[in-house]
Amino acid sequence: MRVKTYLKSITLFLFLLTFMSYGQEGHTEEQLLEGTKTDKEAEIKEYILHHLKDSYDFGLYSYTTDQEETKHIGFPLPVILWDNGLKVFLSSKFHHGEEVAEVGGNYYKVYHSKIYKVDGRNGEINEDEHHHATNEKPLDFSITKNVVLIFTVFAILFFMFNRMAKAYKNNNGLPKGIGRILEPIVLYVRDEIAIPNIGEKHYKKYMSYLLTVFFFVWVVNLFGLTPIGMNVTNNIAVTLCLALITYIITTFSGNKNYWKHIFWMPGVPVPMKIILAPIELLGTFIKPFALMIRLYANITAGHIVLMSIIGMMFIFNNWIGSSLSFVLAFVLAILELLVAVLQAYIFTVLSALYFGMAVEEHHDEAH
């Protein structure tokens, strides 16, 4: 009963945060009411695309003053570049991408959320016929907004689960406080995800990864719905990293039976074995690739749809259309909360399934 109350209040809290977030975004767009409809559409589209991208400073929101001047509220983050030596400076030097930053004699400019090297203070980005910048790109290890969130989630997860673990020690092996909510989830991952897919014998060594990836993706997805509006999982780099780890673990834990099923499928005629081998081998790459795309696409699509519907409120600009959009956005936001955990679940289940395939023991012609 208490757990239920906890969960309810957390859900409500996150849900309210979601709306606060879009409330703030709405504030920005109030300025658009004056413009024409197409202007607004273009601006909303640009805003959504901008929102989906990583950024070098931690912007909470921005607005335009009466003097047609855009003010950004937020704080700068460190930019770390490797360009013939380490270059570290604060992103405030870019003035939100409007100016060229000069560091140690080099000039850098932000173009489409990426840092490029330019020739001088008034250096321009050169584009080829496909509108791709041809300027040199320094190696970029900046602490971007998304990296900040990854750090935050890192800290939250570590703090939360470390506390939970300590509570067990001080409480005769019983969960306390937040552990009471988290324990059923941890046990769910173990009993419903790891054991059925990997098997009683091998599941233990994968538990750390499965639990971490589940909670990481979930919490990161939830943060994507908060007013700070960071979307870590809609970066292909993040999902690629997670999928790659799954792939590496699968490949390294593959036993004889696993490789035999890939290169020399038992129980089929020899010509089929030869045809199946490249397909199966390709399959081992496609599986983590699908894992990567699935998480990325679901989160990105969710954000685009949700923000488009919120944007529609300003395009309709009347009581009926706007309130309908509001109701739709309301429903979708709830759906997104579900998607946040669903995607974490799917990623974990599929990872567990792949590990299970890799460690499956040989059983005679059972397939």
Partner 1 sequence: MEELFGGFSLGLFIWQAILFIALVLLLKKFAWKPILDSVNDREEGIKNALDAAEKAKLEMQNLQADNQKLLQEARAERETMLKEARDMKSKMIEDAKDEAKTAAGKLIEQAQAAIETEKKAAIAELKSQVASLSIEIAEKVMREELSNKDKQVKLVESMLGEAKLN
Binding segment for partner 1 among 32-40, 96-104, 161-169, 302-310 (CB under 8 A)?
Answer: 161-169
CB of residue 93 vs partner 1: minimum separation in angstroms? 17
Check residue 139 for interaction with partner 1 (CB under 8 A): yes
Give CA–CA dist 113/134, Å, rounded: 15
Q: Does 170 bind partner 1 (CB under 8 A)?
A: no
CB contact at 8 A, 103 and 120: no
- Shortest separation between residue 4's beta carbon and partner 1, angstroms: 21
User: Closest approach of Cβ 289 to partner 1, in Å?
Assistant: 11
**Applying CB under 8 A, what is the total number of residues that bind partner 1?**
48
Of the candidates 309, 304, 299, 301, which has an alpha carbon nearest to the alpha carbon of residue 346?
299
Specify the residue, 18 or 144, whose C-beta has the smaller distance to partner 1: 144
Taking CB under 8 A as the binding criterion, the range among 24-32, 99-107, 134-142, 301-309 that sits at the site for partner 1 is: 134-142
**Residue 164 in contact with partner 1, rule: CB under 8 A:** yes
Alpha-carbon distance of 264 to 270, in angstroms, equals 9
Distance of closest approach, residue 284 Cβ to partner 1, in angstroms: 20
In the set 14, 143, 346, 353, which binds partner 1 (CB under 8 A)? 143
Instruction: List, in order, residues 6 or more apart from 241 with CB less than 8 Å away.
Output: none
Given its phi and psi angles, is residue 300 left (phi above 0), alpha (psi -120 to 50 degrees) or beta? Answer: alpha
> What is d(CA 284, CA 355) in angstroms, rounded to the nearest whole number?
12
Long-range Cβ pairs for the range 85-88 (8 Å, 24+): 87/138
Is residue 3 near partner 1 by the rule CB under 8 A? no
User: Looking at 2, 169, 363, 367, which residue binds partner 1 (CB under 8 A)?
Assistant: 169
- Give the tokens for residue 241: 């990293």
Residue 92 and residue 77 in contact, taking contact as beta carbons nearer than 8 Å? no
Instruction: Please select the residue that binds partner 1; options are 20, 42, 88, 241, rule is CB under 8 A.
Output: 241
Of the candidates 13, 75, 158, 285, which one interacts with partner 1 according to CB under 8 A? 158
- Helices 37-52/270-316 angle, 10° precision: 130
Q: DSSP letters along 29-58, please?
A: HHGGGGS-HHHHHHHHHHHHHHHHS--SEE
Residue 236 binds partner 1 (CB under 8 A): yes
In this chain, which stretch among 32-40, 150-158, 250-258, 341-349 interacts with partner 1, using CB under 8 A?
150-158
**What part of residues 40-59 is at the interface with partner 1 (CB under 8 A)?**
53-54
User: Cβ(35)–Cβ(243) under 8 Å?
Assistant: no
Residue 290 sits in the site that holds partner 1 (CB under 8 A): no
Burial of 335 (0-12, 13-18, 19+ CB in 10 A): middle
Q: Which of 6, 63, 107, 141 binds partner 1 (CB under 8 A)?
A: 141
Extract the tokens encoding 254: 């593959």
Find residue 64's DSSP bridge partners: 70
Choosing from 12, 88, 99, 154, the residue that interacts with partner 1 (CB under 8 A) is 154
Least distance (Å) between residue 165 CB and partner 1: 4
Site map 111..130 versus partner 1, x via CB under 8 A: ---x----------------
How far apart (Å, rounded) are the C-alpha atoms in residues 124 and 106? 14
Q: Which residues bind partner 1 (CB under 8 A)?
A: 53-54, 80, 114, 139-144, 146-147, 150-151, 154, 157-158, 161-162, 164-166, 168-169, 173-174, 179, 183, 186-187, 190, 207-209, 211-212, 216, 232, 235-238, 240-242, 245, 293, 296
